[in-house]
Structure 1
C-alpha cells in the first residue's frame, strides 16, 4: 500500500463569473475554499483595458481578502489572424505589466480566429509567426503563456495545440487544459488528447460540456471525461492550479458568466469529484 500523500491542487476561479465587483468575487471565492483568483475583468472592464489605478485598487482588494492571483485571463490571440502581428504583441506588453502588478507568472492566451473562407491550414504560418513573437516577449519578461484550447481558434483540436507547442518550442508557452472546449469541437478530451498534451499541461480550467448540444455543465454532468482526466492528473503528480470557469448562465466571445449561486454549484460539483479521487483542494 502506498504511503504517498494525497495530491493537493490549488483552487482558483474566474472572478468575473461571480460578479463584476472584485469585492464580491473575492468573498464568494473565499467562501468556496479558494486561495487564488483568476483575473479576466473587474468592474466590467477587461484586464487588458484596466488602467494602473484600477490595477492597484484590484490588488489592494485581493490583498485585503487574502487572495492571490493564479493567472491573468487575457484576450490575447482571441482576434482575427488578419490583424498585424504587432497588434497582439503590444497588448501582451500591457498584460505583462498587469500580471507583474498582480503577482502572477501565468497569462492565458489563444491562437487566433480565421475568416470564414480560411482553413486552419491556410492560417498556420501566420499563427506560428504570431505565437513565436508572443512567446519571445514572454520569455524576455519571465512570464509563462498558457494556451487555452478555445473552439474556432487555430489551436482548438489536440493535434493543432500540439503543433503550436512543438513548433514554437518555448519554455514560455505551455498548455491550459479545458475539457469543455474540447467537447465543443467534437473531441473526447481524455481519450483523444490527454496523452498527447500532458507533457505540456501546466494549468487546469474546470468546466464540462454536453457533446450533443455544446451546453456547459458542472463537473461530471457532461461528456468531458473529467473523472478520467482528473484521476490521471492525480496519478501523474499534477500539483498546479484548478481554476473554475463554469459558464453556467451565459457565454459570449470574451468569456462567460455564472453568478454566485451557479458558481457555487460548479465549485461543489468539482470538489465532490476531487474528494472522490483523493485530491485535496487548497
Structure 2
C-alpha cells in the first residue's frame, strides 16, 4: 500500500521533523509507514535554511539510500516582520533556492510576512508585493516553485488576501498551499477558502483545528471540513501532495492515543505522526 493513492495521483508526504529531530529516526518511521516523500523542514538540530551545501548533500544522500524523496522544502522564507530589513532575508532565500536544487525538489514552502498588530493589512500591501515580486522573479529564473502557505498573522492569512497574492503572482513560479488548520485559526471558513483558491492550489497541508479555540486535532475531528474538501479535490482533479503536519502533541486527547496499538510505546512525536497518518488514511478510504 505505497502512499495510498486514492485521490487519483496524490501522494502522502509530511513534516517528519515532528517525528524526531534525528534524520535517521525520521527516515525509520517514514519507511515503516510506507511514506516515500518528506517535506523537509529540519533535521539533526538545524532548520533547513541553516544547512550548509555540504550538509544538504549529506542528507540528500541518506534520503536517496532509503528511497525517500523530497516533496518540498519546508522553508521559513517570508516568516519575518514586514518592517524588518529584507536584504539579509533575501540572501537566506537565495541560499534556500540553492539547497532545493541540491536536495532534488523544485518546491519551496514560503509565507508573506508578519504584519504589525496595529494598522490595517492594506497599508502594508505595497511592501509585501514588492518583496514577493523579487522572490517570485528569482524563483522563476531558477525554475523553482514558491508555495505560499496561509498562516496566522501574515499578509496572506485569510482567503481574500491569499487570492490577492495569487492574482498578482500565480504562475509556474508561485502557487498556493492550502492549510486547513491555519485557516480555522484565522477565523476563515475553509469551504469558502477552497472555492476561492481552488484554481491556484497545488499543495495541501493536512491538519485540522477546532473553531472555538484553534486547537489542532487529527484530520476529520475539527471544523476544517477536511473530508468534504478532499472529496472536492478528488472531483476537481487535484494531483499533488497531501503533506501531514500533525501538531498534535498539545491536543487534549493525545494521551488517549497510547491505547492504540500503532502508537503505543512510541515517543510523543512518533505517536502523533502515526495518529495523523491514520486519520488521513481513514478519510481517504471514504473518498469516492
Q: Give TM-score scaled by structure 2 length.
A: 0.90
The answer (yes or no) to whether the contact 2:7–2:239 under 8 Å persists in 1 is no
- Give 1:232's aligned residue: 232
- Can you list the C-alpha shifts for 1:104-131, whole angstroms capped at 9, x where unaligned? 0100000000123232111111101111
- Select the structure that is richer in strand: 1
- Give 2:195's aligned residue: 195
- In angstroms, what is the RMSD of aligned CA positions? 1.6
Question: Partners in 2 of 1:54 and 1:268 — Cα distance?
Answer: 32
Pairing 1:108–2:109 present:
yes
Question: Partners in 2 of 1:206 and 1:17 — Cα distance?
Answer: 13
- Give 1:84's aligned residue: 85
Question: Partners in 2 of 1:182 and 1:115 — Cα distance?
Answer: 19
2:277 to 241, 249, 267: 267
Question: Partners in 1 of 2:239 and 2:213 — Cα distance?
Answer: 32
Question: Partners in 1 of 2:172 and 2:9 — Cα distance?
Answer: 24
Change (3 A) 1:51 1:250: farther
Q: Where in structure 2 are the equivalents of 1:1-282 lying within 5 Å?
A: 7-190=8-191, 192-249=192-249, 259-278=269-288
Question: Partners in 1 of 2:268 and 2:212 — Cα distance?
Answer: 21
Question: Partners in 1 of 2:104 and 2:156 — Cα distance?
Answer: 28
Question: Partners in 2 of 1:266 and 1:59 — Cα distance?
Answer: 25
Change (3 A) 1:212 1:177: same
The answer (yes or no) to whether the contact 1:218–1:265 under 8 Å persists in 2 is yes
Structure 2: runs of 5 or more not aligned:
1-5, 252-266
- Give 1:254's aligned residue: none
- Can you list the C-alpha shifts for 1:201-255, whole angstroms capped at 9, x where unaligned? 000110000010100011100000101110000111111011000111159xxxx
Q: Give TM-score scaled by structure 1 length.
A: 0.91
- Can you list the C-alpha shifts for 1:188-212, whole angstroms capped at 9, x where unaligned? 101x111110000000110000010
TM superposition shift of 1:165:
1.3
Aligned residues: 268
Change (3 A) 1:169 1:231: closer
Question: Partners in 2 of 1:42 and 1:6 — Cα distance?
Answer: 29
Higher relative contact order, chain-length normalized (CA < 8 Å, sep 6+): 1
TM superposition shift of 1:63:
0.8
Question: Partners in 2 of 1:258 and 1:223 — Cα distance?
Answer: 24
TM superposition shift of 1:66:
0.7
1:156 partner SS: coil
Change (3 A) 1:6 1:221: closer
Question: Partners in 2 of 1:215 and 1:54 — Cα distance?
Answer: 35
